[in-house]
Amino acid sequence: MKYLHLIWAALFRRKTRTFLTLVSIVAAFLLFGMLDAVRTAFDSGSQSIAGVNRLITSSRYSIIQPLPESLGLRIAAIPGVRDVGHANWFGGIYQDPKNFVFSYAVSPNYLDLYPEIHLPAGQRKAFDDNRTGAVIGDKLAQKYGWKVGDKVPLQSTIFPQKNGSKTWTFDIEGIFTVEKGAANGLDQLFLLHWKYFDEANAFGNGTVGWYVDRLTDPALGDRVAQAIDALSANSDHETKTQTEQAFGASFAKQLGDIGLIVGSIMGAVFFTLILLTANTMAQAVRERTGELAVLKTIGFSSTSVLGLVLAESVLLLLIGGVVGLGLAAVLAPAIGKGSGGMINLPPVGAGSWAMGVGLMMLIGLVVGALPAWRAMRLNIVDALAGR
């Protein structure tokens, strides 16, 4: 581009102002990259190919509404259902309130419903034989340094024991790994016996949080889901049966609509960025009114002047935006690694880069449009007279 030196010189005519504007642009696109990684991480769980032959049956009204244990036998009798297991949310805190552990109380056959979970046979038998036993994902074990044979106390924030204590102690009997492509967070789970939980829990006995229904054929999913929900129609425990991916997405939405949250934050950030960069470009062009008139005097057409100002605006956004997204590409995986696997943030992918560059170009054109239009319509005589 033969006019690049002119654009570059104009862009850094006021170095301090340009630097501060670039810092704002870098911060905006760094935030964009990080939030997009968070959104992608949540979405990837619902896009996992594992679990296509599983349905989840939970309360129609809320995931915290329990279901009767007896419903499991009726679900198992429905044609197309190969096996049924159940689980209950336990939650738990290890030593410090910030050390939250994703833990479930599960039925004896729960691990059989998840072939993507691999637990050595000896450890599986030890778990089955120990009432207070637990098995954990390898990432969770690495995070806290747990090993087989350890006794781990977890403090429940919801479920006290019948003796009044909120501290439950478990024996680590096994550490499992998961296949590549399994749902995010599976290697962070802490699984304990539902029967022990049900007998020791101070309330809600004889109920479960949700059922896992393994199908004989994934193609039967819709028909089986309707049949399961018909079992409890018009009762005080009506159910909603959906695919495992849909259940995971709805579970995540208990925290909020991630897409809406990310979109709202980025909308506010980019709106502020547009105001800031538009003000910068307006000032820059206003200060160079005489110089732009000279360019027209020596032969630059109005269209050329328009292009120079727009190019300056777009270049400003591209420099700051590329740096910001580059930082996000480095920081997102580092944050995931530093969390011990609790937060699995993917690197900034090609789709995010394409969207980011598109936003840089668009914002650059938007904030440069009015100053460029004024520069194009600039009257040489009036501009030099004002100078």
Residue type, 378: L
Give per-residue pLDDT as tens, 344-371: 666 777 888 898 999 999 999 999 988 8
pLDDT at 81 over 60: yes
What confidence score (pLDDT) does residue 49 get?
45
What confidence score (pLDDT) does residue 180 get?
82
Pick left, alpha or beta for residue 181 (phi over 0 → left; psi -120 to 50 → alpha; otherwise beta).
Answer: left
Q: Are 212 and 220 in contact (CB under 8 A)?
A: no
DSSP sequence for 87-100: EEE---B-SSTT-B
Residues 6+ apart with CB under 8 A from 300: 308
Q: Are 81 and 213 in contact (CB under 8 A)?
A: yes
Mean pLDDT of the chain: 86
What confidence score (pLDDT) does residue 260 get?
72
Q: Are 375 and 306 in contact (CB under 8 A)?
A: yes
Tell me how far CA of residue 366 lies from CA of 169, 292, 352, 354, in angstroms.
Answer: 60, 20, 21, 18
**What is the distance between the alpha carbons of residues 49 and 87, in angstroms, rounded to a whole number?**
22
What confidence score (pLDDT) does residue 43 get?
61
How far is residue 294 CA from its own chain's centroid?
Answer: 53
CB hemisphere CA count around 375 (13 angstroms): 32
pLDDT cut 70: percent of the chain above it: 89
- As given in the structure block, the two tokens for residue 182 are 């399994």
Q: Which residue has the higher pLDDT, 336 or 291?
A: 291
Tell me how far CA of residue 219 lies from CA of 111, 256, 362, in angstroms.
Answer: 23, 31, 44
**What is the distance between the alpha carbons of residues 224 and 80, in angstroms, rounded to a whole number?**
7
State the pLDDT confidence band at 252, using cuts at 50, 70 and 90. low
What confidence score (pLDDT) does residue 85 get?
96
Q: Tell me the average pLDDT across 165-185.
A: 89
Residues 6+ apart with CB under 8 A from 51: 114, 116, 183, 243, 244, 245
Q: What is the DSSP letter of 19?
A: H
Q: Which residue has the higher pLDDT, 104 or 64?
A: 104
What confidence score (pLDDT) does residue 250 get?
62
Residues 6+ apart with CB under 8 A from 365: 310, 313, 314
Give per-residue pLDDT as tens, 136-165: 999 999 999 999 999 999 998 889 999 889
What confidence score (pLDDT) does residue 308 get?
86
